[in-house]
Amino acid sequence: MQKRLLYLSGLLFICSLLPSAVYAQHAPKPLLEEINRLTEEIEREAIDWRRDFHQHPELSNREYRTAGIVAEHLRSLGMEVQTGVAKTGVVGLLRGPENGPVVALRADMDALPITEETGLPFASTVTATFQGQEVGVMHACGHDVHTSSLMGVASVLAEIRDKLPGSVKFIFQPAEEGAFDYDIWGAKMMVAEGVLQDPRPDAIFGMHVWPFPTGTIAYTRGPIMASVDNFSIRVIGRGGHAAAPWETADPIVAAAHMVTGIQTLVSRNAELTKGAAVISIGSFRGGNRNNIIPDDVELLGTIRTHNEETRQLIHQRLETFIHNTAEAFGTSAEITIDRLYPAVINNPELVNNMIAVIEHSVGQKHVMEMDPLMIAEDFSYYANEIPGMFYMLGIIAPDHTGPIEPIHSPRFDVDESAIAIAMRTMSYLAVEALFQLRD
């Protein structure tokens, strides 16, 4: 026993000589309490921003008004501001100590081509031209909340800049919903134009509103959203009279077998214990009359996976299957697979380091680990470059009645009390990460 005590005493003495950087640094509680106070002070203004953005939505790559408001706000806080990044993106830098760590925070600004049906007093009546058609425009995915919340975080952190051990980069991104006027999505273009350089962030955080109860924060360790690839298949046969199919090479029958067989590519090829995968056909076009077998048929579909290995495997197997099936029916096939963006994969170490501060923000019972989703998000382009954490913010009020509308619904709305929660949590994450990353 005496030898053991001597050993432990010696070990404690050695530990006391180690540099303090060995131990994780945490954001001081008084600083978090100051964030709480500042969040309360700015909540009303953030809600007003949200309502203004909601009433004046802009489609992808056309977020000129939104970007102008964001840039003006960041300048008013004394930040270094870049505009025109990826066409309409805005980047603000709250500069801290020269050699301190850098944390990035991201919000997306674009709306969707949807006609709003919420009946809100600040509902959108905006219309725009989209793919040659006049359409309604609506923030049906919560990007108005994302943008206004991050503007609030900018206000909060600017007030405590002298107490921060590092810098914060605010990324307001265009075109998350689709690069309708450009070849690549907003996040990919922002990365290509250097948003993760000068200075390079050590970590990045992003969030998305989700139909969970207000106050809920949900996260994953690892994949949280899937990669997305779209594909088109043209099955080329030989048309003729439907009464004499033996004189034709029927592309409809060949395509029908393709649709059925495609469903086995996941179940019989992908190792699903490593991550989910989905292949779906969304369009089957061929022919225009009941007694005519057409010359060709077109299929349109999407591929979703949670890891790059499965993604590559499905691409290879899909091409092989389509060509072989076409040949078996005396037809031929052309297939094009468009790789859009990779899966959003949270850095497990970063997530583990942040859970405690999230629990401090909303309470332990309101923090949950969720199952990965099969929808996609271009936050992946940031998280592929630096450690990232993407999480979900609940926006369904406790007294909500009736059906819960999903994102992208013309009736989608949010509980605005979630905006303060969004500001506080993101501010906590930024400050906690800076203290943990400090040398």
Q: Is the pLDDT of residue 434 over 90?
A: yes
**Is the domain of 210 the same as that of 281?**
no
**Is the domain of 73 the same as that of 41?**
yes
Predicted confidence band at 273 (pLDDT cuts at 50, 70, 90)?
confident
- Using one digit for the tens of pLDDT, what is the confidence trace for 316-348? 999 999 999 999 999 999 999 999 989 999 999
**Is the domain of 92 the same as that of 234?**
no
* pTM as predicted: 0.90
**Is the domain of 326 the same as that of 388?**
no
Average pLDDT over residues 239-266: 96
| pLDDT for res 131 | 87
**Is the domain of 350 the same as that of 336?**
no
Q: Which of 164, 154, 53 is nearest to 414 (CA)?
A: 53
Average pLDDT over residues 58-81: 97
**Is the domain of 378 the same as that of 423?**
yes
| pLDDT for res 25 | 82
The domain in which residue 371 lies consists of 22-226+343-437
**Is the domain of 222 the same as that of 370?**
yes
Element (H, E) at 92: strand 89-94
Average pLDDT score, the chain: 93
Whether 6 maps to a domain, the answer reads no
309 Cβ contact list (under 8 Å, min separation 6): 274
- The CATH code of the domain that includes 244 is 3.30.70.360
**Is the domain of 415 the same as that of 375?**
yes
Among residues 287, 306, 340, which one ends one of the domains?
340
Which residues are identified as catalytic?
A: 110, 176
18 Cβ contact list (under 8 Å, min separation 6): none
| pLDDT for res 179 | 73
Whether 4 maps to a domain, the answer reads no
d(CA 55, CA 51): 6
**Is the domain of 257 the same as that of 323?**
yes
Among residues 272, 306, 340, which one ends one of the domains?
340
Predicted confidence band at 67 (pLDDT cuts at 50, 70, 90)?
very high
Whether 63 maps to a domain, the answer reads yes
* 22-36, 86-100, 360-374: least confident range: 22-36
| pLDDT for res 12 | 42
Whether 5 maps to a domain, the answer reads no
| pLDDT for res 178 | 82
Predicted confidence band at 439 (pLDDT cuts at 50, 70, 90)?
low
**Is the domain of 68 the same as that of 160?**
yes
Average pLDDT over residues 253-260: 97
- Using one digit for the tens of pLDDT, what is the confidence trace for 177-235? 987 666 677 999 999 999 999 999 999 999 999 999 999 999 999 999 999 999 999 99
> How many residues appear in the chain?
439
State percent of the chain over pLDDT 90: 88
290 phi and psi angles, rounded to 5 deg: -70, -20
Whether 17 maps to a domain, the answer reads no
Whether 269 maps to a domain, the answer reads yes
Does residue 178 contact residue 376 with C-beta atoms inside 8 Å? no
Strand blocks (E) in 366-418: 367-369, 388-396
Whether 433 maps to a domain, the answer reads yes
Question: Into how many domains does the chain fold?
Answer: 2
Average pLDDT over residues 10-18: 41
Angle at 304 between CA 302 and CA 305, to 5 degrees: 155
Does residue 433 contact residue 103 with C-beta atoms inside 8 Å? yes
- The CATH code of the domain that includes 363 is 3.40.630.10
**Is the domain of 299 the same as that of 349?**
no
d(CA 300, CA 258): 12
Q: Is the pLDDT of residue 42 over 70?
A: yes
Among residues 286, 317, 340, which one ends one of the domains?
340
119 phi and psi angles, rounded to 5 deg: 75, 10
**Is the domain of 373 the same as that of 305?**
no
Whether 243 maps to a domain, the answer reads yes
| pLDDT for res 11 | 42
- Using one digit for the tens of pLDDT, what is the confidence trace for 401-430? 999 999 999 999 999 999 999 999 999 999
